Structure 1
C-alpha cells in the first residue's frame, strides 16, 4: 500500500481523459506532503504542468481535476491554492489502513518488485592492496554496500564489485617493503624505508610467512629473482586482511576484478583498437600543466583519448614516456570489460581525490556503450576521526594510521555503519569516537536503537495482560501524535524510492531519526498525561491498538536498519 502512488495513479487516470499525452509529464507530476501542515496531507502541481499543453489557466484545470478527486472516498477535502496547486486532505482512516498494512504484511513495506533485467553494477571500496583499511575506506565501503542494499530493495539486480589495483609501481613497492622486512627477520641490515615504501608493522607477518616457506633463499638474490613472488604473496595477504576487515562490518562483494589480469588478458590493446576505430585517439602534445611544473615533466607527442569531447578539461594520455600504459588506459580497459556485461547502469564509489577522474572514465563508457549505459560516480569526502579531542593522522606509508579494524573494535560495527551514513557522501564527516557511544538523543544511532528497544520493553510489560484476547482497533488511533506517526510511516515507500534513485542511502538514517523522534515524543506524552500512555491497564482494547502502532514503528525501523546493514537491538545495555 502506497498512498502517494495511489493518488498519482488516480491523477493520471483523470488527466488521461483530457486528450493529452500523459507520458510527456508523468515524471514531472509531484505528489508529496506540502511544506506546511495547514495545506493538507498531499499537494500536487499537475494543473500547472498541464497549462501550456491545454492552453488554459492552471486554476481552470485545477477545478476540473478537483471535481474528479472529490469522488475518491479516501479524500475528505480538496483545495486549490496559489497559482494552481491542488491540496488534498485525507480521512484519518487511510492512515490507519496503512498502519494495518505495514504490520500485517509478510514482506518489507516499501519493497518494490521490478524486472530483474535492470542490472546495476556498484563498484566500491577498491582500496589498494598495500595495507589494512583505514577509517576513510570504511566510509566508501559502508556507503557502497548500503547503496547496493537500497537498490536491491527497490527491485534492481545488483552486482557488487571490487577492483583490485594489483598492477603498477605501488604493488612493486609493496613487495620491496616486504622484502626489507624479510631481510630484517633474517638479521640482514638494510637501509631505512624510503618515502615510496610502506614501513607499517602490518607487513611483518607477511615477511614471516615467506621466511617460513623459503627461509634465506632470497637474501642475496637480485630484485628480478624475488619481485614477482613477493608481490604475489603480499597482494594475497593484504587482500585477505581487507576481506576480513570488510566482513567485520558485513560488507560483501560478488566480483573481484584484477587490474593485473586486465593487462594480462590484452584488454588494453583491444580498447585502444576500438577507440582508434571510433576516431577517438590521436598523437598530440599536451600543454604544460598549470602551476609549478614537476621536475620530470616533458613536452612530447603522446597517444591521447579525446576525453574533451565528453566534457573533460583536456584530452588524456594512454601511454607514459617509457611506453608503458597509463593507469587510465587500464581503467578504460576495465570499464570496457564491465560494459560488456550488459549493465543498465554503472555506479562507482570513489574517494574525493578522484573527482578529476570522473569525466574521462565517463567518456570511455559513453564511447563503448554509445551512451546507452548510465554512469554515475559518488565521491565520498574525508572522515575526520578524533578521540578525546585529538585528531588521528592516516597514512599507510607512514605506518601510523588508525585501522578500520581498530575503530570497529572500539565502537562496534553497527555504530560505525550508522554514523558513516549520517551525512551526505560529498560532505566531510566528523567521527568522534567518544560521542558515537554517548547515550543521548544527540547520538543518532543510540536514538534510533533506543526507539526500537523501547517497543520491546512495552511488549515485555504487556505479556501479563493477555492482550491476544483483544482485536486491534485502528480507529482508536486518532490523537495528534498517533496520526502524525501513521502519516510519517506512510511516506516510507516514496522516501526509500527517492533515496535509491538519487543514490543517497544517508536519507535512510534521516528518516529513521525522524521516526524514532516521533515515537519518543509519543512516549513522552504519556509521561505528561496518563490517558496518553501506550499501556493503560483499565482499557486493554486501546492498549492493544496502541501497542500495534508501536510495533509498526519498530517493524519499519527494523526494515530501515536492515537496508543500511545495522542489526537492531532488542534491548540496550
Structure 2
C-alpha cells in the first residue's frame, strides 16, 4: 500500500478525464505530476503540483486547471477537500478512515510493508569498502562499509537485484610494501632485531602474520634476497589481510557477495580488451596533455602518452591510460574493471568511495558512458571524513594499527548496531562527528537510543498485554475496530506510517539511505509523544483497562509502528531492541 501512489493515480485519472471532456488539450506530459506531503501540515494531508507543471503546455492559467481538477478530485470518497493555494498548488485532505486503516495494512503486510517493485529486478552492482589489502579497516572504511551495505539493502527492498562487491586493490606497489613489512615481522619472529623504514607498515597487526609465515616456511626466507621471497610473501600477506578484513566486515554485519581482485586484470588481456573497446569507438589516441593547473612551464615535461578522449563523455580533460614507458596508468585497470561489470550484465553501477576520490568521479563516469554507449549509468557516492571524539576530546590513535583508529576499535567500544545507525545520521557527503560517549547516552538527543527505545517500549507494552491475557497477535490486531483511533495524535502516527512506502522509493531513487534513519527518528518521536499523552488520557493508553476495543486499536497502531521500525532498522543493518538495558 502506497497512499501517495494511489492518490497520484487518482490525480492522473482526473487529468485524463479533463482531456476527454476538452478542459485540457491532448498530448500533455504527465510524468512530472507529483503528489507529496505539503511543506506545512496545516495546509492538508497531500499536495499536487499538477496545475503548475501543466499550465505552460496547456496554455491555461494554473489556477484554472487547479479549480477544475479540484472539482474532479472531491467526487472521490477518499478526498474530503481540495483547496487551491498560491498560484495553483492544490492541497488535499483525505477522509479519516483512510488514515485509520493504515495500521491494518501494516499488520497484514508485516515486514514487507513498504517493499516496492520500483526496481523491476534491474541488476545493480554496489561496490564499497574496496580498501587496499594492507591492514585492518579504519574508521573511514567503516562509514563507507555501513553506507554501501545499507544502500544495497535499501535497493533490494525497493525491488532491485543487488550484488554487493569488494574490489581488492592488490595490483599496485602497496602490496609489495606490505610483503616487505610482513617479511620484517617474519625476521622478528626468528629473533632478529628489525627496524621499519619510512613507507612500511609498522602496526602490531602484522606480528601474527609474520609468525604465521614462519610456521609455514620455517627459515627458508631468512636472510634471502628479495627476489627469492617477494612474490610468495606478497600472496601470503594479501590472503592474510583479506581474512582480517573479512572478519572486520563480519563484526559490522557486512557480508559481500563477491570479492574481485585487481590483480586478475593483469596478464589476462582484460585491460587490453577494455582499451581496445574504447579504441574501436575512436576514443584512444596518442597525444600530449597540457600542464596541470598550478604547474610552471619549467616544471612541466611534455610526454606523448596513450590518451582516452574522456572529454567526449563529460570529463574536463582527456586522461592517460598508458604511460610514455608503455606501462598502464592506475586508470587503465579501473576502466577494465568497470568494463567487466558492464559485460556481466549490470544495469546500474554504484561505487562508494572515500572523500579523497573526488577527482576520480568524472573520468570514471566518462569511461562507463563510453564503454556502455550511455546505456549503463554509474553513480559514485563519496563518503566524507569521520571525526572521532570521547568525552568531547579527540579520540587517540590505535596502537594496534599504528596510525589510525580501526573499524574493530569502534565496534568493540559501542557495538555494531550503534556504529551502523550513527554512521547514517548524516548524509554521506557531509562530515560526521562520532563521540563515543554521546552515542551511548540514553536521551532523545541520541537518535539510535531514541528509535530503539520506541521499539522496546512497544514490545514491553505488548508483553504486559499478554500477561493480562489480552489477545495481541497480529491477526487479531489487524481486525481491531480502528474507528477508535480518532485523536489527532493517533492520526498523526498513522500518517507517518503511511509515508514509509513513499520514503523507501525516494531514498532508493536518490541512493540516500540516511533518509531511512531520519524517518525512523521522526516516527519514534511521534510514538513517544503519543505514549506520554496516554498518561493523562485513558483513551490514548496503549492498554486501556476500561475498553477492550480501544486497547486493541491502540495496540494495533503501536504494533504497526514496531513493524515499520523493525523493517527500517533491518535496511540499515541494525537489530531492533526488544528491551532496553
1:75 to 74, 79, 82: 79
Work out the CA distance in 1 between the residues paired with 2:273 and 2:533. Answer: 68
Work out the CA distance in 2 between the residues paired with 1:195 and 1:297. Answer: 28
State the shift of 1:547 in Å: 1.3
2:144 to 140, 144, 154: 140
Classify 1:439/1:316 alpha carbon distance in 2 versus 1 (closer, same or farther; 3 Å).
Answer: same
Instruction: State yes or no: 1:547 paired with 2:566.
Output: no
Kindly provide the CA deviation profile for residues 328-365 of structure 1, in whole angstroms up to 9, marking residues without a partner as x.
01101111111111211100000010010011111111
1:519 to 505, 527, 537: 527
Classify 1:407/1:530 alpha carbon distance in 2 versus 1 (closer, same or farther; 3 Å).
Answer: same
2:154 to 131, 150, 153: 150
Query: Are the counterparts in 1 of residues 121 and 159 from structure 2 also a CA contact under 8 Å?
Result: no
**Alignment partner of 1:440: what SS?**
coil
**Alignment partner of 2:91: what SS?**
strand
1:178 to 176, 182, 187: 182
Work out the CA distance in 1 between the residues paired with 2:277 and 2:4. Answer: 47
2:272 to 259, 269, 273: 269
For structure 1, the 5+ residue unaligned runs are none
Query: Are the counterparts in 2 of residues 131 and 396 from structure 1 also a CA contact under 8 Å?
Result: no
Partner of 1:401: 404
Q: TM-score, normalised by structure 1?
A: 0.95
Kindly provide the CA deviation profile for residues 269-301 of structure 1, in whole angstroms up to 9, marking residues without a partner as x.
112222222221222222333336899974311
**Alignment partner of 1:347: what SS?**
strand
**Alignment partner of 2:83: what SS?**
strand
Tell me which moved more, 354-363 or 289-298: 289-298
Partner of 1:239: 242
Q: TM-score, normalised by structure 2?
A: 0.94
Query: Are the counterparts in 1 of residues 283 and 308 from structure 2 also a CA contact under 8 Å?
Result: yes
Instruction: State yes or no: 1:31 paired with 2:39.
Output: no
Query: Are the counterparts in 2 of residues 51 and 58 from structure 1 also a CA contact under 8 Å?
Result: yes
State the shift of 1:106 in Å: 4.3
Work out the CA distance in 1 between the residues paired with 2:134 and 2:29. Answer: 51
Instruction: State yes or no: 1:483 paired with 2:487.
Output: no
State the shift of 1:522 in Å: 0.6
Classify 1:389/1:328 alpha carbon distance in 2 versus 1 (closer, same or farther; 3 Å).
Answer: same
Work out the CA distance in 1 between the residues paired with 2:441 and 2:26. Answer: 52
Instruction: State yes or no: 1:10 paired with 2:10.
Output: yes
Work out the CA distance in 1 between the residues paired with 2:550 and 2:26. Answer: 46
State the shift of 1:16 in Å: 2.1
Q: Could you say what the CA RMSD is over the residues aligned between the two structures, in angstroms?
A: 2.2
Work out the CA distance in 1 between the residues paired with 2:48 and 2:283. Answer: 46
Work out the CA distance in 2 between the residues paired with 1:466 and 1:28. Answer: 52
Partner of 1:108: 112
State the shift of 1:401 in Å: 1.6
Work out the CA distance in 2 between the residues paired with 1:302 and 1:522. Answer: 67
For structure 2, the 5+ residue unaligned runs are none
Query: Are the counterparts in 2 of residues 198 and 396 from structure 1 also a CA contact under 8 Å?
Result: no
Classify 1:117/1:514 alpha carbon distance in 2 versus 1 (closer, same or farther; 3 Å).
Answer: closer
Partner of 2:100: 96
Work out the CA distance in 2 between the residues paired with 1:318 and 1:21. Answer: 53
Alignment of 1:51-62 (within 5 A): 51-62=55-66
Partner of 1:348: 351
State the shift of 1:260 in Å: 0.4
Work out the CA distance in 2 between the residues paired with 1:359 and 1:396. Answer: 37
Work out the CA distance in 2 between the residues paired with 1:431 and 1:71. Answer: 52
Query: Are the counterparts in 1 of residues 119 and 155 from structure 2 also a CA contact under 8 Å?
Result: no
Kindly provide the CA deviation profile for residues 298-327 of structure 1, in whole angstroms up to 9, marking residues without a partner as x.
431111111222232322111235432111
Partner of 1:219: 222
Work out the CA distance in 2 between the residues paired with 1:229 and 1:130. Answer: 15
What is the aligned residue count?
Answer: 572
Query: Are the counterparts in 2 of residues 196 and 397 from structure 1 also a CA contact under 8 Å?
Result: no
Query: Are the counterparts in 2 of residues 163 and 256 from structure 1 also a CA contact under 8 Å?
Result: yes
Query: Are the counterparts in 2 of residues 197 and 397 from structure 1 also a CA contact under 8 Å?
Result: no
Query: Are the counterparts in 1 of residues 111 and 567 from structure 2 also a CA contact under 8 Å?
Result: no
Partner of 2:70: 66
**Alignment partner of 1:27: what SS?**
coil
Classify 1:21/1:269 alpha carbon distance in 2 versus 1 (closer, same or farther; 3 Å).
Answer: farther
Partner of 2:286: 283
Work out the CA distance in 1 between the residues paired with 2:57 and 2:415. Answer: 56
Kindly provide the CA deviation profile for residues 55-87 of structure 1, in whole angstroms up to 9, marking residues without a partner as x.
211122122211211121111111112111111
Tell me which moved more, 482-491 or 262-271: 262-271
